[in-house]
Each structure stands twice: as structure tokens, then as C-alpha cells.
Structure 1
Amino acid sequence: MFQDLDATLRAMLGDAAAPGELRDADVSFDVPDKDFNPTRTTVDLFLFEIRENRALRDDAPLRDRVDGGYLLRPAPVRIACTYLATAWSPGAGAVRTDEEHRVLGALLPWLHAHPRIDDRFLRGGLQDPPQVYPLPAEVEPMREGMGQFWTALGIAPRPALPFTVTIGMRAFEQEDQFPAVQAIQAEGVLADRPVLAGRVLNSELAPVPAALVALVGTDREATADRAGRFSFPDVDFGAYVLSVRVADRPEVRASVSYGPDSQVHNVVLPAQ
């Protein structure tokens, strides 16, 4: 994934609309340490930080329509990839400084011109499958403590541009498939005459008539009608356990919390 982002940025810097200083320069992703000594004018994009962009986190699952149903999968994790962009010239003295500054001067507005990475630049796994979200990009302020960074690399500090692109990455492969909704049935209740009610349904959500429903711990029982409906009037609000018995099937129990705004409690029997 990160190598695909490298290839994407290389394509963006080599675009026909990019400044000539960028099109003519090599693009490297090597560590800019004391052993880095390019023989041609080079833009080096060193990936020095990878972190989750929590400000863009979305915990809502993605929904895709497939085979008459729906496929739910986790939203991609938003990963912020920060590059340190530097310019390198094989010249010496003032010639080198002038060329490096010209390249950086061309790079900065070109990066600012792309607050979102254009789809035409995307490469590899960033292109196929397509990214769920656009790829935001921004030039960031220089971090504190960069002097120690250059010291660790064994070279003198250089002018640099921190540049961050946020990509979407699947954390793991987990998909759940559900059938499409075929019908919607509203169950009416009355606030001034509450009733603990519901329906007994099989695993395909078809009604189960004649099921015997009981309130565990009481002597209250009800038999489901042809639509699978049952009801218990004159029951105090509170927590209950419904016991459902159907011929030739094991007993099924369901815990319910009965209240003014939670009067209907359906019981779905497991597949046999």
C-alpha cells in the first residue's frame, strides 16, 4: 500500500502540468542520510511518519448491494502518511543552493494545488480496488526537534516540507451478508394501554402459529395466532424472560425489557 502511494506521488510530480523543475527532476524515496548523494537533481520524499488520522475515523460500516442482499464491511482505517520533501542538486556552492531552492519553490505551490490527490494519479492498490474516500493532502508546519532528526542522519539541517497524504486501509477482512428487506410491518401500541406483545417467527422471519409463549416465573401463558402474534396485557413494566415452546423443537428463551417505549418484543427461533 505504501509503495503504491510512492508511485502515486511520483506520477503527480511527473504530470505534464507540473512545473518543469519537477518534471525534470528525479524522484526518490530513500532516507536522506549522509550516504544519500544523488548524481542528478532530485526531489526526495522520505516517508518518516505513519499514524491513524483519528479526526477522519468513521466507525459506520460500509454497505454494498450484492445478490439481492447487502454486504456489510468495516470502514477503512484512515492512515496519515507524512513525507519529508527535500531537494538535492549535484552542483556545488551557490549553484547547488540556487537549484535546490528553485526546485523547492516549484514543489510547494504544486503540493498546495492538490488538497486532494486526483484519481488520475492513483497507482496500484490505491487505484484498484478504488479508494472509498478521497485522499486529502496538505503541507504541514515543520515539526519541533527536527535538528535532532538531521543529527541522527549525520548531515547538516536542510530546508524541507512535511507533506501528509491520508489513505484508506482495510484493517482486516470481515464481511457480513444480510438479505434485503422484503417487507416492513408496523406493530402498533398504545401509550395509555400498554401491552407486552410480539410475534414468534422462524429463522426466515415467517410467523409460527400455535407457539406457546410463557412469562417465566409467572403463570401467564399465551398461544400465538396465525400471524405468530402473542400479547400479555396488565403486566407491570420491568425485565422478563419469554419462553417459547413449539412442537418438535427445543424451548427457546428470550430476555426482554418491557416499558412504555419498548412494548413489542419479537422472538426469532433458530434454524433447525
Structure 2
Amino acid sequence: MFDSLDKTLEKLLNEAPSNELPELNRAGVSFETPDKNYTLSSQLTVNLFLYEVKENRELRDPVPIVERVGDEFIRRKPPLRVDCSYIVSAWSDQTRAEKVRQEHLLLSQALLWLSRFPTIPNNYLQGSLANQPFPPPTMIAQVDSNKNATGEFWTALGISPRPTFNLVVAIAMDLRVAVPEGLPVVTSEIRLLEIDKPASLQRWFHIGGRVSEAADPNNAIDEAQVKLVEKNEIVKTNAQGQFIFSDLAAGNYTLEVSKVGFTARSKAIIVPGESVTAYDISLPT
């Protein structure tokens, strides 16, 4: 996926308008390590060195994704949101004052162009990034208060320090973890009609839900006690955190859920339910 991000950024930089940003438009784009053995891909080159990859916890969504696949529902872990951090530098094959002039001009044009995109538009996304669930947000030239490593970075590469700016792109990575949730019906209905009494229609329902951890809804809680208050019935969840109550009339009910090690919760419900998660409950620790 990181190679697809490289190709995406290369396409973005290559399509800079020639009438506004001529140096950037004709510059090459490189993702090689800019060490003392680095050679330019063209006379003018923008180098994007991927120096760090880490999870973006502010963008993390703990809510699982429930989707229908055929006749069943599948619960998937939400995508991992990952910050990909680049050091962006400009390079020229000229010498002395002309080299400095070209590199400063190229770096400023790269900064101006990339700053126009708070998110990367879909038409630039390449390879595996083409199916991103969210447009990848970017941060340009933001100071990282936890780092003072720019000088150390160039020293480690064995060359003199040079002007740079940071580019951070947050991409979504599918963890490909899916758990079958069963049939899409969370409330099943039984209708009873006496043959000699056409007006005596009775409707009864079976309902089912799931108990999970509030910190991570993908983690089911087994052996949790679930009480249907109005009928004083108690059941326990199975290994998948699932529970079922049968033979309920339509109406309002209350579920009380508890397990040692978790904070008990209650939930008002309506039978029949209207969604696949109508009876699901999460317990905080």
C-alpha cells in the first residue's frame, strides 16, 4: 500500500500546472534515500523520503462495520488509520548560487502545490489506494514538537543539512478481519390464528443481540448475564457474545447486562427492532 501512496504523490506532483509552477512541472520525483550516494532522477528533482509510519489514534474509529454479504451479515474491524510521514527536499544538478536558487524555488513550488490539497482527490489515488473509504487527509509543513531530528537525519545520511518540509498523509488500511453475524433478521415474528376465530390473531417475537467490550466492540463477552426485566428472564451469552429471548409480545422492554470485571448497563428496547444492532450492548470496564 505504501508503494501505491508513492505513485499517488508522484502523479499529484507531476500534474502541477506548467504556467504557474514551471520548475515543479518539469522536475522529476524520487523516493530514494537521499544519502551521500544519492543520484538525481533528473536535473531538478523533488525527493520524498518516507521516514515514519504510525497509527493515527485521533482518526481511529472503534465502531465495527456491519455489512450484508449474500444472505448474512458480516462484522468487520474498522480500517486502521496510518500516518505516513515524508521529508520533502529539492535537488538541482547545478552548482553554488544557481543550485541554491533552483532548489529553493523548487521547494517553494512543491510546498505551494501540495498545500492546495487538504485531502488527496480520488482522481489521483493509485493502485490499492483507489478504494480508500475516506479521502486521505494531508498535513503540510507542520512542526512535530516531539522531534528535533532534522539535523541528525542529514548527519546520519552523511551529507550537509538542507531545507525541507514535512508531508504527512493519513491512509486507511483494511485489516481484513471479519466475523459472521448470522442472518440479517434480528427479530423473528410468529403469528398464531385460531381457525374458528379469525379475529384472534396473536403475534410473538424472538429477538437476539450481542454483548461486546466498549473499548473494542470486536471483542465479544461470553458468559455475560442478560436479564429481560419485564419478564424476569435471564440468559447468558455464548462464546460469540450472542443471546436470544423468545415468545415476546410487541412492546417496550428493558435489558440489563452484567459480568464480573465490567460495569453493568441497562438498555431500553422496542420489539420488534428496526436495525441489525437494535439489541446489541457494550460494557465498559
TM-score using structure 2 length: 0.64
Given the superposition, is the C-alpha separation of residues 22 and 178 from structure 1 closer, same or farther in structure 2, using an over 3 Å criterion?
A: farther
Whole-Å separation in 2 of the counterparts to 1:9 and 1:97? 24
Among candidates 45, 65, 69, match of residue 68 of structure 2 = 65
Q: Matched residues in 1 for 2:267 and 2:166: separation? A: 57
When residues 261 and 173 of structure 1 are mapped into structure 2, their CA distance, relative to the original with a 3 A threshold, is closer
1:163 Cα shift? 0.4
1:191-246 C-alpha deviation (Å, 9 max, x unpaired): xx9651379xxx9x795xxxxxxxxxxxxxxxxxxx489xxxxxxx9x9xxxxxxx
Which position in structure 2 is the counterpart of 1:108? 111
Q: For the structure 1 residues 33 and 66, does the alpha-carbon distance in structure 2 shift closer, same or farther, using more than 3 Å as the test?
A: same
**Correspondence 1:123 to 2:123:** no
Query: Residues 42 and 69 of structure 1: is their aligned pair in 2 closer, same or farther, counting only changes over 3 Å?
Result: same
Q: What are the within-5 Å matches in structure 2 for residues 16-35 of structure 1? A: 17=17, 19-35=21-37
Aligned to 1:77: 80
| Structure 2 residue matching 1:99: 3-state secondary structure | helix
Structure 1 residue 133, shift from structure 2 partner: 2.0
Please name the residue that 1:6 is paired with. Answer: 6
Q: Corresponding residue for 1:48?
A: 51
Equivalence for 1:90: 93
Residue in structure 2 matched with residue 132 of structure 1 by the alignment: 133
1:179 match:
183
Provide Cα deviations, 1:96-131, integer angstroms capped at 9, x if missing partner.
11111111111111111111011101011111xx11
Q: 1:50 to 1:182 in 2, by over 3 A?
A: closer
Partner of 2:210: none
The amino acid of 2:232's aligned partner reads: L
Q: Any idea what SS the aligned residue of 2:232 has?
A: strand
Cα shift at 1:52: 0.5
> Structure 1 residues 157 and 170, CA, compared in 2 at 3 Å: closer, same or farther?
same
1:161 alignment partner, one of 160, 165, 180: 165
Instruction: Give ranges in structure 1 of 5+ residues lacking alignment.
Output: 188-192, 208-226, 230-236, 240-256, 263-272
Cα drift, residue 49 of structure 1: 0.6
- Using structure 1 for the length normalisation, give the TM-score: 0.67
Listed as ranges, the matches of 1:140-219 within 5 Å are: 140-141=142-143, 143-181=147-185, 183=187, 185=205, 195-197=231-233
Assess if the C-alpha contact under 8 Å between 2:72 and 2:182 holds in 1: yes
The one-letter amino acid paired with 2:14 is G
How far apart are the structure 2 equivalents of 1:17 and 1:181?
54
Residues 206, 248 of structure 2: 8 Å contact kept: no
Identity %: 34
State the one-letter code of the partner of 2:116. A
Greater radius of gyration (CA) = 1
Structure 1 residue 158: Cα displacement: 0.4
Matched residues, number: 208
Give 1:261 shift.
Answer: 8.1
Which structure features the higher share of strand residues? 2
Q: Distance in 1 between matches of 2:62 and 2:139?
A: 24
Q: In 2, distance between residues paired with 1:111 and 1:16?
A: 9
State the shift of 1:182 in Å.
Answer: 5.9
Gaps of 5+ in 2: 189-204, 208-228, 236-241, 250-255, 259-263, 270-285
The code of the aligned residue for 1:117 comes to I
Q: Structure 2 matches for 1:206-245, cutoff 5 A?
A: 227=247
User: Which of 152-161 and 64-73 deviates more?
Assistant: 64-73
Contact 2:119–2:137 (CA<8 Å) still a contact in 1? Answer: yes
Q: What is the distance in 1 between the residues matched to 2:120 and 2:104?
A: 24
